[in-house]
Structure 1
Amino acid sequence: MTAVEEPRTLSGHPLTMTTETEVAVVREVLAAAGMLGEHVRYAFFAPEEPAKAEVLAFDDGVPDRRFRVVLLDLSTGRSWDAVVSATARELVSVRELEPEREGQPPIIDSEFEFIEDALNASPEWCAALAERGIEPASVRAVPLSAGVYDYPQEKGRRIARAFGFRQDSESDHPWAHPIDGLVAYVDLTARTIDRVIDSGVVPVPAGSGNFDDPAVQGPPLEGLKPIEITQPEGRSFTETDGHVRWGKWDLRIGFNEREGLTLHQIAFDDRPVCYRASVAEMVVPYADPAPVRFWQNYFDCGEYMFARYADSLQLGCDCLGDIHYVDATIADDLGNPKTISNAICMHEEDYGVLWKHTDIFTGSREVRRQRRLVISFFTPIGNYDYGFYWYLYLDGTIELECKATGIVFTSGTPGEYATEIAPGLGAPFHQHLFSARLDMTVDGLANAVDEVEAGRVPMGEGNRYGNAFSRNSTRLRSESGGQRDASPGTARAWHVVNTEKTNALGQPVGYVLHPHGQPTLLADPESSIAARAAFATKALWVTRYDPAQRYSAGDFVNQNPGGAGLPSYVAADRDIDGQDVVLWHTFGLTHFPRPEDWPVMPVDYTGFTLKPAGFFDRNPALDVPPGAAKNCH
């Protein structure tokens, strides 16, 4: 690689988005340190953000821009966790990982490339296909993360497990033709097949899954007229080097391959609300206990770095309206810069009525339109596609909506744990569980969390007719008490309040987290996945801020035996009352697939809302001007 002569980066803020120059400088530093051999690949690359206090104190000058890189030697399986300063052009730290104790680096594309060849060289695999009358050349291998089970021979080794799907032509979607009853365990370092499990021949479903075939789609639906969304005077927001301003909102955006889109220093009317917001992990646990499928559960963030596959979004297809795009730069497996064009989409949306009243006494008739700023990205990972949409509203509300679409994972065995979605084609039950990390700064750093819910009041003295109900509030004072379940039946919500500031009514200023209240992890508490995805066993965890505690399931999720992440973070049981606190919120979908989800799944939605509660003294959107549309009188 040609050396980059510029000794300093061009970044003017510690949280500016990654540049191609910085990626190139990091690679040069690692190469100069002798760490990039012929077989060494990048398993992870992301900005190493400074501690919160350092960022908040930053005023001007050139920040020290650091990046974290996890290196994997494909020939030996050894791996290293390094931090490089692109500003100083130096290796700050490096250590070798202990895979048996702390887990493996993520799985990377370079490892997937050889798996079909390794399977086709396996006599056991080819014999199993021959028994089914299937040619190996027609089989597409789907290698997947292995998890951790009672297999002593797998400890410390990089393992994947692979299914086969038959592909009948180059344009045929193999998801329609699972070769069930068959799985291979693969040693990714040795590039060999450890074990082939064949539980018996299962008929391969023959129906088409080619949703992109006009013959499958049928004639185009008639009568849908075009929708055009225009803003004749242009957009109301600005974005400069990741710094976004819109109405009373002020924030920064970022992007990395593990979390995807991140929001930073979110403020409304010059008052801080949330220092950093991201999806820090997600897990997709499957419910089929069959001998070839019991291990299926995928951590798309921690095991696959799913945002490295983010789509380059297209106007008129992915996005509609007056759109502003932002590119995102990551590193490829060799450490070279890779820029994803149009990775982040930003636009405004009308969102119906904001507030309205027609008064019977004064004749006053006022109405204002709500709108929201949308900041989003979409990423495919295997069979599924996920969209992440952050919404900022004119009344101070923040919302995250996650969209799941794509193709459901298929099997050839509909039954007790799978829906028959087409003749002979099963789709196992599963969950999509996300973990949002919300580093709150509600009007400052001194925050606490109150659990607030509705309560019935018994009929009797003071409630003679039984109509009363109460609002009950409980302060969460320590990390052990900050592990909570949702309770939709009592409208349970969590109020993040500032313990040092009050509004004009003497109430603590605050923001409230409203959960959707769907099920958390349904696997048995003693299961392997419950130990590894402990974050998903609770709807809420509250921790004391620590800059090293960034990921819900720990730094190294792949083949981690469990106990990492949130269980280890809360072990000290720190005080969280009037402190710098972080909320970790589990939310998601429990998916019992439907025939309507085949051959491609309509979007399903999940998310949560953060709303001001006492943060303002009155409606903060009174100053929104009346609509100016030609048909608004």
Structure 2
Amino acid sequence: MTAVSERPTTTAAAHPLEPLRAEEIAAAGALLRELKGLGKTARFVFVTLHEPPKADVLAWSPGDDPLPREAAVTLYERGEKRTYEAVVSLSAGELVSWRAVEGVQPSIMAEEFEACEDIVRSDPRWQEAMRRRGVEDFSLTMIDPWASSYTGPEDHPSARRILRPLTWLRAAPGEHGYARPVEGLIVIVDLDAGEVVDVQDHGVVPFPPKPGNYEAKWKHDPDNVPAFERDRDDVKPIEITQPEGPSFTVDGHALSWQKWRLRIGYTPREGLVLHQVGYDDRGTLRPVVYRASLAEMYVPYGDPAPTHRFKNVFDQGEYGIGWLANSLTLGCDCVGHIQYLDGVVNNQDCEPVTIPNAICIHEEDVGIGWKHTDFRSGAVEVRRRRRLVISTVVTVGNYEYGYFWYLYNDATIEYEVKLTGVISTGALPPGERPKHGELVAPGLYGPNHQHFFCVRLDMAVDGPVNRVVEVDSQPSPPGPDNPHGNAWETVRTVLASEAVAQRDADANRARYWRIENPSARSALGEATAYSLMPGASAPRMYSPDAVFAPRAGFAAHQLWVTAYDEDQRFPAGDYPNQNPGGDGLPKFVEGDRPLDGTDLVVWYTMGAHHVVRPEDWPVMPVTSIGFMLRPTGFFDGNPALDVPPTAANGAACHAD
């Protein structure tokens, strides 16, 4: 450890897991510049809280001495073309660690993302390719900086740092440019040199003839696809009010709602993070999840055309969704009594960047929670179900993704991803139909593709000692004990080690997974548990021998379970950018560590399968994918039995 005297330090945070404040991000950069003599070529990729060891956090209580406050920094030294990782102590003004990471490329930085368009537009070869398509006004072009993927040794991260941007054309300023893709034109940009190193033109394809606008000033054009003369006039206002205020409280990043207690975190790579999720069970705060986050998004395209075959992006590991978050708008993104939290990230000079209203917190009524009518007496009891919503929305180029954590008053946890935005489009010659996609307008198609979302769940069901049990349902064998053949039973399989804890959902067996605490017992003598209930999903459709398949080995299975390791945070590895593959979960489990009765992490991957429809154009209606964590023997009965019998409008929800 390198100590430095008289260095500026920052004040302690209220809690060890509080996200880095703006002044802490700036202080981390100032410390590193001075301690390591960094110049202008040192670019700060991600600066985030270096979370204290789990044992220290669990042992800490308000009023205790603060834990060391540290920042983890990923830095790219452009002058050396080398990546560094550092940890600096913000409370002591010290350098805790510094190391070079060889043979990797860190995520694409915001300044690179933003500079790419000008770099491409200034290249004579690209300009000539556009002129071959009849384009002279280059200001009408849109260049999207697609991550390069890995197509061969020339893309290896040790060779060069590149992007493969694609081009679209607006018919007029402000129009929807994705309606006119420049098919067959691929550019390779060297980000270190700040120049185009190659232009590949696979032939001119005519621009699709029809506009596809969705903005109010354009969408009533009779040639638009689709065309509407006017907006609907039969939509009446809906007002959601809470005259006594919300049922939740927010103190810094600590959140309490009814019986739930948790902390909200935020990182530039993961975006929204939940910490220390627990439930107050009649005066006892019982832990459920220590840390939960979306750990990776992987979007492979299933079209072999030159413009599309390299598309397989890792939106977190290659970009980082925290700095892509939207500033959410009351009445549009969130409705009701809203509490917002800002997201604080860094730019490449390690200056703090605040995204106002990056996180939205509000309550929703979601229908009947439970009900029964005694038909003999006429007595009716019904309770409303309510949930707390913690959400954020990001824009990744053409797509929007909404990430929603729901906490219900019956102790269920749900995670949902909402997909919307604009499809990545391709063009076809007149009269052709795509083999690997679907037409959405004349000459315009959406390639087949998938989205895989891997959620990392650092489980803590009644404490850190857990195990995972796979539960299948199956018919009981016929015989004297099953004379009518109607019986069925559940079969439990303990996933005792990492080698066997690589599993897939099976709807034919109604499969789910119990995360149990074998040392905590319910009133009935069973291990307390929360069950992971799979939602709709799809397996990967590409060949296991695909060039890019090793880059996302985690997508081979929906469920992985690993022994806890604080350094194993991302399912495709720390540096998927230009990586040929092999890192992440497949490497984590090589040691086949035991899992029965230990501190463990559950990784669950959902696959959204997108065969594009005309209805997805020019902007997609929301589609969603998700899963639930449901208490299973965690309580001694219905935890929502004590919900009061009052409807949203004040009417009594019971009758004697």
TM-score (norm 2): 0.93
Moved more, 409-418 or 431-440: 409-418
Residue 206 of structure 1, aligned match among 186, 196, 209: 209
Aligned ranges 1:221-236 → 2 under 5 Å: 221-236=232-247
Question: Contact 1:433–1:520 (CA<8 Å) still a contact in 2?
Answer: no
Partner of 2:84: 80
Is 2:552 the counterpart of 1:533? yes
Residue 69 of structure 2, aligned match among 65, 70, 74: 65
Structure 1 residues 200 and 8: alpha-carbon distance in aligned structure 2, compared to 1, 3 A threshold? closer
Residue 248 of structure 1, aligned match among 259, 277, 293: 259
Aligned ranges 1:18-417 → 2 under 5 Å: 18-59=20-61, 60-99=64-103, 103-135=104-136, 136-152=138-154, 154-156=156-158, 157-216=160-219, 218=228, 219-269=230-280, 270-413=285-428, 414-417=433-436
1:48 Cα deviation from its structure 2 partner: 1.3
Residues 157-208 of structure 1 deviation map (CA, whole Å, 9 limit, x = unaligned): 1011121111232212211110001111221112232322222111111322
Distance 2:412 2:287 in 1: 13
Aligned ranges 1:375-524 → 2 under 5 Å: 375-413=390-428, 414-524=433-543
Distance 2:157 2:351 in 1: 32
Distance 2:128 2:8 in 1: 58
Moved more, 450-459 or 257-266: 450-459
Question: Contact 1:163–1:182 (CA<8 Å) still a contact in 2?
Answer: yes
Distance 1:518 1:302 in 2: 22
1:335 Cα deviation from its structure 2 partner: 0.6
What letter matches 1:599 in structure 2?
P
Partner of 1:17: 19
Partner of 1:605: 624
Distance 2:157 2:248 in 1: 52
Question: Contact 1:520–1:586 (CA<8 Å) still a contact in 2?
Answer: no
Residues 503-523 of structure 1 deviation map (CA, whole Å, 9 limit, x = unaligned): 111111100000114113222
Question: Contact 1:410–1:427 (CA<8 Å) still a contact in 2?
Answer: yes
Residues 79-135 of structure 1 deviation map (CA, whole Å, 9 limit, x = unaligned): 211111111122211112212xxx210001222344344334444323322222222
1:319 Cα deviation from its structure 2 partner: 0.9
Distance 2:645 2:272 in 1: 33
1:456 Cα deviation from its structure 2 partner: 2.1
Question: Contact 2:105–2:157 (CA<8 Å) still a contact in 1?
Answer: no
Is 2:642 the counterpart of 1:623? yes
Distance 2:548 2:536 in 1: 21
1:362 Cα deviation from its structure 2 partner: 4.6
Distance 2:30 2:153 in 1: 40
Residue 583 of structure 2, aligned match among 560, 564, 583: 564
1:408 Cα deviation from its structure 2 partner: 0.5
Q: Per the alignment, in what secondary structure is the counterpart of residue 36 of structure 1?
A: coil
Structure 1 residues 630 and 297: alpha-carbon distance in aligned structure 2, compared to 1, 3 A threshold? same
Distance 1:566 1:238 in 2: 37
Distance 1:106 1:403 in 2: 24
Partner of 2:562: 543
Distance 1:251 1:260 in 2: 16
Residues 129-152 of structure 1 deviation map (CA, whole Å, 9 limit, x = unaligned): 222222244322212111112233
1:227 Cα deviation from its structure 2 partner: 0.7
Distance 1:312 1:66 in 2: 27
Distance 2:19 2:80 in 1: 33
Q: Per the alignment, in what secondary structure is the counterpart of residue 479 of structure 1?
A: coil
State how many pairs are aligned.
627
Question: Contact 1:521–1:530 (CA<8 Å) still a contact in 2?
Answer: no
Distance 1:606 1:127 in 2: 43
Structure 1 residues 603 and 104: alpha-carbon distance in aligned structure 2, compared to 1, 3 A threshold? same
Moved more, 457-466 or 523-532: 457-466
Question: Contact 1:139–1:164 (CA<8 Å) still a contact in 2?
Answer: yes
What letter matches 1:503 in structure 2?
S
Question: Contact 1:106–1:304 (CA<8 Å) still a contact in 2?
Answer: yes
Residues 537-573 of structure 1 deviation map (CA, whole Å, 9 limit, x = unaligned): 1100000001111111111111122111111111110
Question: Contact 1:273–1:443 (CA<8 Å) still a contact in 2?
Answer: yes
Distance 2:345 2:392 in 1: 15
Q: Per the alignment, in what secondary structure is the counterpart of residue 533 of structure 1?
A: helix
What letter matches 1:411 in structure 2?
G
Structure 1 residues 209 and 39: alpha-carbon distance in aligned structure 2, compared to 1, 3 A threshold? farther
Question: Contact 1:488–1:517 (CA<8 Å) still a contact in 2?
Answer: no
Question: Contact 1:350–1:371 (CA<8 Å) still a contact in 2?
Answer: yes
1:29 Cα deviation from its structure 2 partner: 0.3
Distance 2:241 2:7 in 1: 44
Distance 1:620 1:117 in 2: 58
1:155 Cα deviation from its structure 2 partner: 4.9
Question: Contact 2:362–2:390 (CA<8 Å) still a contact in 1?
Answer: yes
Distance 2:380 2:624 in 1: 35
Q: CA RMSD in A?
A: 1.7
Q: Sequence identity of aligned pairs in percent? A: 46
1:528 Cα deviation from its structure 2 partner: 3.1
Question: Contact 1:264–1:275 (CA<8 Å) still a contact in 2?
Answer: yes
Structure 1 residues 374 and 466: alpha-carbon distance in aligned structure 2, compared to 1, 3 A threshold? same
1:607 Cα deviation from its structure 2 partner: 0.7
List runs of 5+ in structure 1 lacking aligned partners. none
Moved more, 249-258 or 135-144: 135-144
Distance 2:218 2:544 in 1: 47
Is 2:599 the counterpart of 1:580? yes
Q: Per the alignment, in what secondary structure is the counterpart of residue 319 of structure 2?
A: coil
Distance 1:87 1:386 in 2: 36
Structure 1 residues 610 and 153: alpha-carbon distance in aligned structure 2, compared to 1, 3 A threshold? closer
Question: Contact 2:456–2:602 (CA<8 Å) still a contact in 1?
Answer: yes
Partner of 2:223: none
Moved more, 556-565 or 471-480: 556-565
Q: Per the alignment, in what secondary structure is the counterpart of residue 126 of structure 1?
A: helix
Moved more, 77-86 or 234-243: 77-86
Distance 1:74 1:266 in 2: 40
Partner of 2:610: 591
